[in-house]
Amino acid sequence: AQRVTQPEKLLSVFKGAPVELKCNYSYSGSPELFWYVQYSRQRLQLLLRHISRESIKGFTADLNKGETSFHLKKPFAQEEDSAMYYCALSGASNSGYALNFGKGTSLLVTP
Amino acid sequence: EAGVAQSPRYKIIEKRQSVAFWCNPISGHATLYWYQQILGQGPKLLIQFQNNGVVDDSQLPKDRFSAERLKGVDSTLKIQPAKLEDSAVYLCASSLGTDYYNEQFFGPGTRLTVL
């Protein structure tokens, strides 16, 4: 069975502080992990995927298979980072690689 | 390019009524998804189409939900009859193909309230 867990419903940090949004998963095979973001009054959109190993808007995420984690990090949070963040998994057992989402973490960056 | 279009954006109905949602994917995208997002939860896949064929409908409550994608382009999702627990945002997404590296693009969603 596949499961994505985001333990924090809400994370509040000050502007300029480091931020880490946690994501843990359970999956028996080799997963593909993603972070999606939804800014206020905007559509859900892809932020980054682990296979790309890229930094988007200063965010990075490393897949740790030993700890089954894919935490999202940014060294210096900005107010425009305030949004809803969803961790998602796509595994080979999914027909067609549909996404299995966590419940999401609301990030609030205050000045 | 134009994004995924959905209509209506909002719908309020009473329980036991019927409702239908429409989705127009990005041009050229072969794969279309319908997700249900209940308040406080992440999106949950209801059904996935590849062109006009169903790839995965294992989580679709088939006693009341139905979906079709005629001609492999637009899609409709229907609920008949609706229950209170169907209140949610229904998201449509599309991608070029079914492989994991194909980014899914989401529509704005239809917010359904069942009274």
| Measured distance between the N- and C-terminal CA atoms of chain B, rounded to whole angstroms | 37
pLDDT tier, A44 (very low <50, low <70, confident <90, very high otherwise): very high
| CB distance A103 to B42 below 8 Å | yes
**Least confident range of A75-84, A88-97, B7-16, B36-45:** A88-97
Grade residue B93 by pLDDT with cuts at 50, 70 and 90.
Answer: very high
- pLDDT, position A50: 85
What is the distance in angstroms between the Cα of B73 and the nearest Cα belonging to chain A? 18
| Chain A residues interacting with chain B (CB cutoff of 8 angstroms) | 4, 9, 32, 43-46, 49, 51, 86, 88, 90, 94-104
* Confidence label for B98 from pLDDT (cuts 50, 70 and 90): confident
Rounded mean pLDDT, B65-87: 95
Tokens at B79, concatenated: 């609920």
Average pLDDT of chain B to the nearest whole number: 94
Residue contact A95–B48, C-beta within 8 A? yes
Q: How confident is the model at residue A96 (pLDDT cuts 50, 70, 90)?
A: low
- Between A55 and B24, the higher pLDDT residue: B24
Predicted local confidence at residue A30, as pLDDT: 79
Q: What is the per-residue pLDDT for A92? A: 59
In the predicted model, is pLDDT for residue A95 greater than 80? no
Residue B101 has pLDDT above 80, yes or no: no
- pLDDT at residue A25 in the model: 95
Q: In angstroms, rounded to a whole number, what is the distance separating the alpha carbons of residues B99 and A79?
A: 34
Q: Is A85 helix (H, G, I), strand (E, B) or coil?
A: strand
Arithmetic mean of pLDDT, B68-97: 95
Q: Which of B34, B51, B52 is nearest to B43 (CA)?
A: B34
B41 vs B58: CA distance, rounded Å: 19
Interface probe for B, chosen from A44, A63, A94 (most Cβ of B below 10 Å), is A44
